[in-house]
Amino acid sequence: MSTVKILRVDVDATTEVLHVQNNLDGLKAAIGGGWLEPIGPTSGGGGWSAYLDEEGKIKGMRVNATATQLARLIGWNSADVLCGPVIFLGPVDANGDETDVGDDVLGVAQIQGILP
């Protein structure tokens, strides 16, 4: 089974770079379960994608201000907020598979003090 490198951002602003199984179960486990809701750059394609629990707001999960800030800094143009744990990855490849989170996303996270 292949793995994919992700940046996981939790609601308490803790972050970690992990390798998880590159399949539905691995991604769901990384967000704590639930249905995967994808987000990505609002325009221009971009070099990243992210997932969170689609029902996070319904479940009463707290706003993830850190992940919301990071997503906006790297191209997510939305007035909405992200709730619950969020995982950032690279863009989906031509086969529809997830790819490793890019150094560009990790670099922005480091510059902003999100990732030590």
Check pLDDT > 80 for residue 18: yes
Question: Residue 108 in 3-state DSSP?
Answer: helix
Q: Write down how long the chain is.
A: 116
- Which of 3-7, 81-85, 103-107, 112-116 is the least confident region? 112-116
pLDDT at residue number 45: 59
H or E segment and range at residue 38: strand 36-39
Residue 15 corresponds to which tokens in the numbers above? 């972050």
pLDDT in tens, 41-96: 876 657 899 999 999 999 999 999 999 999 999 999 999 999 999 999 999 899 98
Question: Residue 24 in 3-state DSSP?
Answer: helix
What DSSP string describes 4-23? EEEEEE-TTS-EEEEEEESS
Residue 108 corresponds to which tokens in the numbers above? 């922005």
| pTM (whole model) above 0.75 | yes
3 state SS for 51-72: EEECCCCCCCCCECHHHHHHHH
